[in-house]
Chain A
């Protein structure tokens, strides 16, 4: 149980375009999902906390208008990188929390974004 999927696993896009990454909880409902960014050999940096039916809470330094997060259902959250730049190239990982009282997060397999 507690499987989280991400799509696509890899994406290459041109500068200036937008790309959408989907995060799905496959066998449970997730009221809260998290989006992380990870650079090579580095830690996972929390970008935003996404709550179903409400606006995402962004961490300091993360541009809300650049990284659009939508959590329209209890099993799906999307991250859209708008007007992508080469410096946005990174590994993006989502996670989902099983219940409201739990700290435990289950991670998706990640999406490798390359902006050319």
Chain B
């Protein structure tokens, strides 16, 4: 089976930098993805790491260390609209299907 752990809540102020960590235990690991979900909305894809290192996409960056089974999402220059839930998800190959297994989510609150 797969299991992922991430903090349940994080609070930061506008303009700050916040890091959301994710540790995982899984078999058949192919990579780590990050998704953003606003209340009542659809998860939207933010980033994906298949290899060790840092991937940068605008204000968001994601890091992966396969040897440590660990990754993080880094959000810079926080804005109020960044308040949302952030999920890490491992890409696994289960049976004959490529699947995503999601962590429990981190609720980010950005304060003015």
Interface residues in chain A, defined as those with a beta carbon under 8 Å from any beta carbon in chain B? 4, 32, 34, 41-46, 49, 51, 57, 91, 93, 97, 102-110, 112
Extra A-B contacts (16), CB below 8 Å, given A4-B42, A57-B96 = A32-B98, A34-B99, A34-B100, A42-B105, A43-B87, A46-B99, A49-B97, A93-B42, A102-B98, A103-B100, A104-B48, A107-B42, A107-B43, A107-B44, A109-B41, A110-B42
Task: Name the residue of chain A whose CB is nearest to the CB of B95.
Answer: A57
Interface residues in chain B, defined as those with a beta carbon under 8 Å from any beta carbon in chain A? 30-31, 33, 40-45, 48, 85, 87, 91, 95-105, 107
Q: Which 10 residue pairs spanning A and B have beta carbons closest together?
A: A107-B42, A103-B91, A43-B104, A44-B102, A43-B102, A49-B97, A109-B42, A107-B43, A103-B98, A43-B105
| Cβ contact within 8 Å between A112 and B40 | yes
**Alpha-carbon separation in the docked complex, A110 to B44 (Å):** 12
Partner of A108, one of B42, B48, B85, B105: B42
| Cβ contact within 8 Å between B45 and A104 | yes
Partner of A32, one of B44, B95, B97, B101: B97
Q: Is the interface of A mostly helix, strand, loop or mixed?
A: strand
| Cβ contact within 8 Å between B105 and A97 | no
Task: Name the residue of chain A whose CB is nearest to the CB of B44.
Answer: A107
**Alpha-carbon separation in the docked complex, A115 to B56 (Å):** 43
Task: Name the residue of chain A whose CB is nearest to the CB of B1.
Answer: A60
Residues of B within 8 A of A103 (CB): 30-31, 33, 48, 91, 98, 100
| Cβ contact within 8 Å between B43 and A93 | yes
| Cβ contact within 8 Å between B43 and A41 | no
**Alpha-carbon separation in the docked complex, A102 to B42 (Å):** 20
Residues of A within 8 A of B40 (CB): 91, 110, 112
Residues of B within 8 A of A51 (CB): 97
Partner of B101, one of A46, A49, A97: A46
Residues of B within 8 A of A110 (CB): 40-42
Specify which of A4, A44, A109 lies most central, judged by the most chain B CB atoms within 10 Å of its CB: A44
